[in-house]
Amino acid sequence: MAVSVLTDKNSGESVMYCTTSDWAFGPVFTQYEEAEIFIEWLERHGKGDPRLIEDRDLERLVGEWRHEIQERVGKRVRFTDEDHDLYGMVGTVREAYGDGTVWAEFALMDDRGPYRRGTYPAWDEVEVVEEPDPDEGDPCADPVDDEGWGGEDE
């Protein structure tokens, strides 16, 4: 007796369903992970069993969840996955997705100088840091060229 996710093999779209009654309910999600993360979000926020939530309330909660995801855009984050080469780097979230991932640009240094590198870390692998000093600007604000290097070539 639980909520599970049913996914269409062709489109990848997913819905929640009750494993006891085999009854699908709620919105259509774009992918399996998006539905799973929404269910986890409901649990984390103490919203209860999604099978027991009225349709109009479930629709409102999906809206709140999607709004929370979009609020991540523009945040300055530090990468916290110790096993990744971006560990400890600070970057800026450029896009956020319902599957829990974000596209963030991180300003890094190596023997060629400063450059930008994008990655798709899960939101739970980054921590929000304070906004940069306005006088310093955003080190990830400039567009990146095709090779992933920002700024002028030497």
CB 86 within 8 A of CB 119: yes
Q: Give percent of the chain above pLDDT 70.
A: 69
Full-model pTM? 0.67
Domains of the chain: 3-70 (no CATH), 74-154 (2.30.30)
Low-confidence ranges of the chain (pLDDT < 50): 112, 142-154
pLDDT given for residue 130 in this prediction: 67
Q: Rounded to whole angstroms, how far apart are CA atoms 105 and 139?
A: 9
Distance CA 142, CA 98 (A): 26
Q: Edge-to-edge, what's the strand order for the sheet holding 126-128?
A: 113-119, 102-110, 90-96, 76-79, 126-128
Distance CA 113, CA 121 (A): 23
The string of DSSP letters for 63-115 reads HHHHHHHHTTTT-EEEE--TTSTTTT-EEEEEEE-TTSBEEEEEEEEETTEEE
Q: Write the pLDDT tens digit of every residue in 60-96.
A: 999 999 998 888 888 888 878 787 766 777 778 888 8
pLDDT at 19 (0 to 100):
95
Say if CB 53 and CB 41 are below 8 A apart: no
The predicted pLDDT at position 111 comes to 53
pLDDT attached to residue 9:
94
Q: What does each C-alpha distance from 8 to 16, 19, 53, 121 come to in angstroms?
A: 12, 17, 24, 25
Q: What per-residue confidence (pLDDT) applies to 46?
A: 92
